[in-house]
Structure 1
């Protein structure tokens, strides 16, 4: 069954999720970083810098900078593709999987709180 939200409800949900994340002291990810992270974890691999840049319609340096931050937080890891050394493969990590799963749980929880 599809979830039906008015724009104001969707914005309230997003606000509640953001507030929860800030109050919980979770890493401050930009919208771009979060979009990249969710793409890595929700879309089937393999993921490359080039492929992510194409999907998000940004340059490879933009992806690289975002991955630098997410790598430092251990949400993703990178390695050179042994079959094509020009490619950098982006890999999921346990920490990243737990972050994404918890983030999804927060969204569900906050959506339930908004329900009448």
Structure 2
């Protein structure tokens, strides 16, 4: 009887040790799972921040494209005046040359 009791107690002790080992493994796996979830959440946060930056840059790009188009339109509207000024510049250069060389024409 005592021998059976000792054997049962040894088996119970072995089972308790296995339970403790299983609990330790479960706790380790839970810690790993939490670490993975934390990294996943951090990655999701970085992705969200990156998407927000992309949207901001797209909006800024749109503003710059609008400004560029407005400047191009302004430059195009000033082109006739530029052409007139260039023509006037040629006339003034010719008048200056004539004034300097007037004696040669008299």
TM-score, normalised by the number of residues in structure 2: 0.23
Point out which structure has higher relative CO (alpha carbons under 8 A, 6+ apart).
Answer: 1
What TM-score does the superposition give when structure 1 sets the normalisation length?
0.21
Structure number with the higher strand fraction is: 1
